[in-house]
Structure 1
Amino acid sequence: MLRVRRGTRVEVRALLAATALVAVLAALIPSAASAAVVQRLEGDDTVSAALAWSQFAYPDGGVTTALLGRADDFPDALSAGGPQGQAETGAPLLLTPTDALDPAVAAELERLGVTDVVILGGVNAISADVEAALTEAGYTVTRLEGPERIATAVAVAEATYPQATAAVLARAQADAEDPSRAFADSLAAGALAASLQAPVLLTPTGELDADVLAYLTEAGVETVYVIGGELAISADVEAALTEAGFTVQRVGGDNRAATAVAVAMTQFTQGPPNAVALIEGSGPDAWASGLPAAAASATQGIALLLTAGETLPPETEGTLAQLGGAPVVCGPLVDPAACDAADAPPPEPPGTVVTEGLAGPRDVEIGPDGEVYVTIQNFGGEDCIDSPDGELCFGETSQVVSVDTESGETTPVVDGLSSLSFGVGASDVAVDAEGTFHIAMGLGAPPEAREGFPESGAQLGTYVQSSEGETTVVADIAGHEGEDDPDGAGADSNPYAIALATDGGVVIADAGGNSLVRVDEEGAITTLATFPEVETEEGPRQAVPTSIAVGPDGDYYVGELGGEQPGAARIWRVPAEGGEPEVYAEGLTFVIDLAFDGEGNLYVLSLFPTGVLTRISPDGEQVVLSEGDLVEPLGLAVAEDGLYVVNCGLSCPDGGQLLFVSFDELAEMFAGATLDRGEPEGYTSPVHEAWGDRIGPR
């Protein structure tokens, strides 16, 4: 029989956790150059589709339990995601005709080594004859059923998860316009449930089913993941859950493909998936392409994304562009043309590749004499400790390097900085005219997490200076967050961007703390501003400030991620003396870096979904200069004749790149744009005025 296993709660962290993004997408980004379809699963009907997933997930068998659903309809299989994640091996979902056990299914049960078979649904779904045939073949058979799909899902939950701390809730029925809506959100929901080891429950769109509420209460559930937008499960259902005392996490997007992306982001908060599986998302038999994939997703760490007939939805295409070289499995019943589209070559980056093969590059900075510097976060070292998130390895491997823009040669100028295996280290650097390097060291965790760090991780969460080979911790940014928690959302720190302050010292954007802090030349820390949550269709999201640019007016301009919803991110103006921030620009997405030119134009780099470069003129006009040509762009700097961009910053198989794109090239990419944006002769920024001779010409 299925072994009952108490559900485990997954805490969805801020998007700039572990990988310094990813959650992102953290979360979502194992590698980047181009997607690579490594396997296409065969299956031309529902029975063979489920068999293909079973054989993919369990090539060597070794499974004690299998689930069995009817092959011609999906309602009873909607709740199969949770049981597919049970025990250490999980349990495959197989499909058979109602009246007879398919010979291929019988052979698969034998190959798997199954001893127990759980039938989903009543005798009208899987007949008594099939049950008898299984019993006669020596299997222990259990039937889980209810009078309709909601009741069947509750029965499955009660049998497999009598106690659970989390549950996944999906819509139960479709509308007359599109019958596939009844299973669209459950395609990805099953994978999330299997990973959480939690049940999948169903409810009508407009109200919370009473039996579902009773199960949630009796099972001790704490967190309910509501799948889809309010057209799938209404705000009334969410309110009823909240009123009943549950923590509600809505996971959804504007459509089924976007919901699948959101589910993947929630499923893989602690690190990137090992691979991506494409499943058909809209055809009449699409349920058989996706529902049986939950076991493979949970046991092998595979994110499920949707196709739409011969095409890839923009949400899937954009996510694959970010995932890049991640292995892609094309599921059964997926149109070959969609698989071919996923196997397309990577986009050619704009401009010129100055250097590549960088180990976790994060940002680029132009020094006072025109030198180009890149922060290298790297991926830890050999000082490893155990943690609830798995093994964490530290090393003094993070660097700041100078880049010879002619030869591409890199030379370490600051070495031996703390690095963590998730790609956390030196996040950003500012350089003054005396050659002092001011460095923000990332963290992506509550400050107290550092108590167990080895010495090689001691600099994480701090601001350090390096001059003439001597590196010193000047201020503990994470410690300030732990003591003051300026945004009141719980202490979490990730010093992510740094700039020279207009009145001396530096300013640092703490992405985990949702704050902008100033560190004076004596090391004293002051909070200049905190940034409010952004309201999205899926509920409030933390701001997550990622970038700072000093404006021509001397104020600080701060960009934010602002959640995964397109258009939700804002750019804030913070007075140089601190105070209430005001929105300078909005309608952006996942802003990762900012830089002004000498004429007051602000260049904005967006990481998600496809890498976007936008120019905002002083009058507020936004012009998209490049979209889809950049992969994992993380850093931006404005030179006299163009832009430097850190590309492939997270996980390209061949390492990260530094690109140079001239203003002339940008003008060609965006026809009609006038982009001669070098600093006018004699231009002096407020930073120059504050630091005088220590800055020099930019």
Structure 2
Amino acid sequence: MKKSSPALASLAAVAALGLVASPASAGGGHHPKPPAPAAPVAGEVTTVAEGLLTPLSFAVGKRGTLDVTQDFAGLLTRIMPDGTTEILDAAEPGSGYSFGAVSKSSKQRGITYYTTVIGAATNDPAQNMSALKSVDRNGNIRTVADIAGYEFSQNPDSVNHYGFDSIDAACAAQIPAGIPVSYTGLEDSNPYASLPVRRGVIVADAGMNSLIRVDRNGGISTVAVLPPIPLVLTAEIAEGLGLPQCTAGLTYNLEPVPTDVERGPDGYLYVTSLPGGGGLNNGSVFRVNERSGESELVATGFAGATGLAVNNQGDLFVAELLGNRISVVPAGSDTPELFYEVNQPAALELHDGALYASVNALPPGGVQEPEAEEPPVVEPPVDPGPPAGRIIRIGFEDNCGGGRGHHGHHGHHGSVADSLDADTLDEEQEDQ
């Protein structure tokens, strides 16, 4: 959240979102509706890496190498299939920088992309700095683009209205200090995911509430601004927050907070939206037309949606960091189903017929929520034990559901790949 407000953090932590995604419509109308597709079923689970500290983002290479951020340690680590490790980049001790948004590129000589950030939610360009960086197979590091600089000069989500949708002056006067009655998008950068495409990299910035494209020369443009998430305040929520009863029934528009981005087999981008705090089930997945910037709600009901994977059939896998589960939304459906229960899953990747997930992603001490609607951050526990973060490999029964979503022509709304410009489609990533 861009507003520094413990009260608004409580709003996000107590409220529950009641959005319902509309099912995809089918053309024709004279044929029987086909049966609902069967959801992929989890098979054998193995641990491929362990002893990690806050592995909130990772990418899988062609030969099974893992490039993993250890956010609390300020490290970008490469883990080889034999378990040996290499530090690709490290923040200066005590600097406060964290790494994230890891993705791999095969078309650009095995480059790994990632982001660095400090000062998210301060709304201060002197404190909030973020960048897209890359490291090649020889270990050469390059700063590709100044993401925070773009946010502070352009502020894409300034077009969004957050806060109460409509409230009379008498009721607004009773709102406790710290809960903003109404505001537009503030200046804040917290890049959380990246996706290499043919002419650059798409970055989902959770503070910016936007998707941006970074070209190979470091130029930045806005791809899409996600819409606000409407939350209807019930009398119970209002009472729990100390809000006046006049707010019951009113709508409060939350910031969407995009946390991951993937390409679907239909050519569209799919984006996870957090957007609230502990215990909520208001996370969502949006479908975004990269050419027009238009977005559409696909599914909702996730508790802290932080990771996404899309297979060739259009099934959506969603990591629910605050729900301790990985859910799946079968192609053609808008209803999440349980895929696998596991502690604190953060990031997902499909590779070689299996789903990889980082789990135990937060250290003892759990989630710190100083701001509402920001991706979870962590603080050191008083007595930290050994790092418990792992990356696991989840097979599929009968190998169903294992393909990545770049080649097929299925999905939640049918194929549109032919209607998109060739330049908007992904390059083939290393795990293909």
TM-score by structure 1 length? 0.42
The amino acid across from 2:48 in the alignment is V
Partner of 2:194: 498
Partner of 1:654: 386
Q: 1:560 aligns with which of 273, 278, 281?
A: 273
Matched, 1:366 2:83: no
Matched, 1:478 2:158: no
Q: 1:548 aligns with which of 239, 257, 261?
A: 261
Partner of 1:507: 202
The gaps in structure 1 that reach 5 residues or longer are 1-12, 18-22, 24-191, 193-224, 226-248, 263-349, 380-396, 454-459, 665-673
Partner of 2:126: 451
The residue matched to 1:481 in structure 2 has which SS? Answer: helix
Change (3 A) 1:14 1:612: farther
Partner of 1:398: 75
Whole-Å Cα distance in 1 between the matches of residues 57 and 268 of structure 2? 21
1:477 CA displacement: 0.8
Whole-Å Cα distance in 1 between the matches of residues 99 and 92 of structure 2? 8
The residue matched to 2:141 in structure 1 has which SS? Answer: strand
The 5 A counterparts of 1:275-314 are none
Q: 1:451-500 CA distances to partner (integer Å, 9 max, x unpaired)?
A: 369xxxxxx51101112222111111111111111111110110110001
Whole-Å Cα distance in 2 between the matches of residues 571 and 431 of structure 1? 22
The gaps in structure 2 that reach 5 residues or longer are 16-43, 159-184, 234-251, 365-384, 410-416
1:536 CA displacement: 1.9
The amino acid across from 1:480 in the alignment is Y
Matched, 1:586 2:261: no
Matched, 1:573 2:248: no
1:623 CA displacement: 4.6
1:692 CA displacement: 9.1
The residue matched to 2:312 in structure 1 has which SS? Answer: coil
The residue matched to 1:442 in structure 2 has which SS? Answer: strand
The 5 A counterparts of 1:612-631 are 612-626=325-339, 629-631=341-343
Contact in 2 for aligned 1:368/1:432 (Cα 8 Å): no
The 5 A counterparts of 1:51-200 are none
1:693 CA displacement: 8.3
Matched, 1:604 2:318: yes
Q: 1:462 aligns with which of 112, 115, 131?
A: 131
1:657 CA displacement: 1.2
The 5 A counterparts of 1:412-427 are 412=87, 414-417=88-91, 425-427=98-100
Contact in 1 for aligned 2:353/2:399 (Cα 8 Å): no
Contact in 2 for aligned 1:548/1:557 (Cα 8 Å): yes
Change (3 A) 1:420 1:552: farther
Change (3 A) 1:368 1:575: farther
Change (3 A) 1:450 1:486: closer
Contact in 2 for aligned 1:442/1:496 (Cα 8 Å): no
Q: CA RMSD in A?
A: 3.4
1:438 CA displacement: 1.3
Partner of 1:676: 400
Whole-Å Cα distance in 2 between the matches of residues 681 and 649 of structure 1? 25
Whole-Å Cα distance in 2 between the matches of residues 661 and 497 of structure 1? 22
Whole-Å Cα distance in 2 between the matches of residues 600 and 363 of structure 1? 22
Partner of 1:437: 112
Whole-Å Cα distance in 1 between the matches of residues 225 and 406 of structure 2? 35
Contact in 2 for aligned 1:355/1:409 (Cα 8 Å): no
The amino acid across from 1:478 in the alignment is A
Contact in 2 for aligned 1:376/1:401 (Cα 8 Å): no
The residue matched to 1:469 in structure 2 has which SS? Answer: coil
The answer to which of 587-596 and 351-360 deviates more is: 351-360
1:574 CA displacement: 1.3
Whole-Å Cα distance in 2 between the matches of residues 560 and 462 of structure 1? 21
The amino acid across from 1:597 in the alignment is N
The 5 A counterparts of 1:249-288 are 251=10
Contact in 2 for aligned 1:357/1:657 (Cα 8 Å): yes
Whole-Å Cα distance in 1 between the matches of residues 307 and 271 of structure 2? 9
Change (3 A) 1:428 1:420: farther
The amino acid across from 2:110 in the alignment is G
**Structure possessing the higher radius of gyration over alpha carbons:** 1
1:528 CA displacement: 0.9
Contact in 2 for aligned 1:446/1:482 (Cα 8 Å): no
Whole-Å Cα distance in 1 between the matches of residues 332 and 345 of structure 2? 26
Whole-Å Cα distance in 2 between the matches of residues 506 and 540 of structure 1? 29
The residue matched to 2:118 in structure 1 has which SS? Answer: coil
The residue matched to 2:153 in structure 1 has which SS? Answer: helix
The number of residue pairs the alignment matches comes to 324
Q: 1:310-352 CA distances to partner (integer Å, 9 max, x unpaired)?
A: xxxxxxxxxxxxxxxxxxxxxxxxxxxxxxxxxxxxxxxx922
1:366 CA displacement: 1.9
Contact in 1 for aligned 2:60/2:349 (Cα 8 Å): yes
Whole-Å Cα distance in 2 between the matches of residues 353 and 680 of structure 1? 21
Contact in 2 for aligned 1:592/1:606 (Cα 8 Å): yes
Whole-Å Cα distance in 2 between the matches of residues 418 and 531 of structure 1? 33
1:354 CA displacement: 2.0
TM-score by structure 2 length? 0.66
More strand by share: 2
Matched, 1:518 2:213: yes
Contact in 2 for aligned 1:419/1:425 (Cα 8 Å): no
Q: 1:115-147 CA distances to partner (integer Å, 9 max, x unpaired)?
A: xxxxxxxxxxxxxxxxxxxxxxxxxxxxxxxxx
Contact in 2 for aligned 1:378/1:419 (Cα 8 Å): no
The 5 A counterparts of 1:200-349 are 251=10
Whole-Å Cα distance in 1 between the matches of residues 343 and 273 of structure 2? 19
1:370 CA displacement: 4.1
1:683 CA displacement: 4.5
Partner of 1:52: none
Q: 1:559-613 CA distances to partner (integer Å, 9 max, x unpaired)?
A: 01122473322211111224121112223232101011222211111111x3121
Partner of 1:357: 51
The residue matched to 2:280 in structure 1 has which SS? Answer: coil
1:402 CA displacement: 2.8
Whole-Å Cα distance in 1 between the matches of residues 192 and 225 of structure 2? 15
The residue matched to 2:77 in structure 1 has which SS? Answer: strand
More relative contact order in 1 or in 2 (CA 8 Å, sep 6+)? 2
